[in-house]
Homo-oligomer: A and B are copies of this chain.
Amino acid sequence: MTTSTEENYLKSIYHLSVGHPNPVLTSEIADSLTTSSASVTDMLKKLSEKNLIEYERYKGVRITRKGERVALSIIRRHRLWEVFLTDVLKFRWDEVHEMAEELEHVSSDELVSRLDAFLGYPKVDPHGDPIPDTNGKLFPSGSLSLAEAQTAQKYQVSGVSDHSAGFLQFLQKKGLMPGVLFSVKEIDEFDKSMYLLFEDNSGTFISHEIAKNILMKLYVNS
């Protein structure tokens, strides 16, 4: 039905769409897939023909419900495989993306659903991104940026908005992985840098630029 290439395009278009009401531009897709605009135009015609996107030349592209369903199913597979790679095969969170990029195209639905069950129906992937359910429903995590954190509050790291291997390795080193509890001891009023305090009373210093790419939630004792 859909080729791996079509799936990658749909995923890219979906990710570029979410939270942006305007149509996605040809050049944005080309950038995100590191391919030429000419190739993108060809593919847009093909996806449009299959009613997976709405495409008007020179006007950009909007994903349809049908296209979104395909995109979410690939995203589900991608994130479930990432959980498998970290939790079961013990890969680091900065190593799993490339492998999941291949595994997500393995076509069996039954395989995905058994994998989901084996992993214990995880809600988020190793980067804190939510895993769509079988019906393509995605529950928003309600996270906010660490840059918005206040002192005298307890927070929990819930994800990242920069997924690059370098950034992930940096956070690993700092101990800022999803799940980790912390409070903000001090915020510098000039450059907005922060000193974070962990549960064990150790701490770490992070710049505002870094903080912007870390997601967190207010932590409430259960």
Contacts and interface: CB of A to CB of B under 8 A. Distances in A.
A102 B91 contact: no
Interface string A174-210: 0000000000000000000000000000000000000
Nearest to A114: B89
A109 to B, nearest CB: 11
Interface in A92-127: 98-99, 102-103, 106-108, 110-111, 114-115, 118
Task: Please state the number of chain copies in the assembly.
Answer: 2
Interface residues of A, number: 17
A85 B106 CA distance: 13
B115 A107 contact: no
Question: Considering residues A91, A106, A114, A118, which has the most beta carbons from chain B within 10 angstroms of its beta carbon?
Answer: A106
Given A85-B111, A99-B106, A103-B106, 8 more contacts: A89-B111, A89-B118, A91-B114, A99-B108, A99-B111, A102-B106, A102-B107, A103-B103
Interface of A: 85, 88-91, 98-99, 102-103, 106-108, 110-111, 114-115, 118
